Amino acid sequence: MSWQVDSFASFLEHERNYSAHTLRAYLREVEGFIAFCQSELGLSQPQAVTPAAVRSYLAHLHERKLARTSLQRALAAVRTYFRFLAREGVVASNPARVVPTPKAPKRLPEVPTVAQLSEMLEALPATPQGLRDRVALELLYGCGLRASELAGLNLDDVDLSRRLVRVLGKGRKERIVPFGREAEKALRAYLPVRAELRQKVHEEDGDPLIVNLQGRRLSDRSLRRILERAVRQLAVVHRIHPHTLRHAFATHLLEAGMDLRAIQELLGHASLSTTQRYTHLDLAHLMEVYRKAHPKA
């Protein structure tokens, strides 16, 4: 019987609403698992896969010196795949469900300070490219957006008068996020530049908010290059990427006293535990917040 990879891909895209990036990653992991089962274990169909086969594959990845996070990602993809096959009646149960997830060390990315971020933003030149980059960074940090969410924004997603932006997040879930005066100021300076750049585009490609110098929608990769360029100009900030600004957004709001559940809504997280991993408060700061907030402290 077929391993039904094409049907699984359709399920991820149309029912789970996975992004193109996540879809490619899951299919790559599942295809690697299937190839291992066929070549190393002699399994010709998914019904023959056992929990021991899944553990053997993880051991194989471990022998290749893959990081624990890579093993976690592979197991998550295989679990989702067999959950789909079980739903379709192809297999009786999910053999990956009982396989324990490899534990990975918890490493928090470096979070720049408010002063460092301000210095980085102020260092950007008042050129068309610099004005565009300022908007991108203000929204990444000021709204806690993912790079893919920022790249997907259209002009009509932004309400300048009320300082709100409509964001389409993971699973195509929509949320409304406020932004501050600095982001509004950056947007107002950038929009005339954007309008001029958009005149270069003749074919229809939507109405993207953040565009390249040819007037077309900026990609996730280009957004990362923008941040890398800004960081190079400011030597005091190291090893940060667009997602680090999302962590900084959550951390700085929590430090200022915002409720964790409110931050969860702004970030578009389905689970509060995910939001907690985005915060970077040391014990001393937590004790200070506790003493100020708790009546029995």
Q: What is the DSSP string of 188-203?
A: HHHHHHHHHHHTT--S
Q: Which two tokens stand for residue 59?
A: 């051991």
For residues 211 and 218, the answer to whether their CB atoms sit within 8 Å is yes
From the candidates 132, 134, 194, 246, give the one annotated as an active-site residue: 246
How many of the other CB atoms lie within 10 Å of CB of 235?
Answer: 7
Exposure on the CB side of residue 286, measured as CA atoms within 13 A: 7
To the query of whether residue 170 is one of the catalytic residues in this protein, the response is yes
Q: CA 52, CA 62: separation in Å to the nearest integer?
A: 15
Q: What is the DSSP string of 205-257?
A: ---BSSB-TTSSBPPHHHHHHHHHHHHHT-TTS-S--HHHHHHHHHHHHHHTT
From the candidates 146, 194, 247, 252, give the one annotated as an active-site residue: 146
Backbone φ and ψ for 7, nearest 5 degrees, come out as -65, -40
Q: Which two tokens stand for residue 80?
A: 């989702």
To the query of whether residue 221 is one of the catalytic residues in this protein, the response is no
To the query of whether residue 278 is one of the catalytic residues in this protein, the response is yes
To the query of whether residue 246 is one of the catalytic residues in this protein, the response is yes
Placement of tokens 């990427």 in the chain: 241
Helix axes 51-63, 20-40, angle to 10 degrees: 100
For residues 224 and 252, the answer to whether their CB atoms sit within 8 Å is no
From the candidates 170, 175, 224, 241, give the one annotated as an active-site residue: 170
To the query of whether residue 141 is one of the catalytic residues in this protein, the response is no
Placement of tokens 């702004």 in the chain: 266
Among the residues of the chain, which ranges form H helices?
A: 5-10, 20-40, 51-63, 68-87, 114-122, 128-143, 147-151, 181-198, 220-232, 242-255, 260-267, 272-277, 283-293
Q: Which residues are catalytic?
A: 146, 170, 243, 246, 269, 278
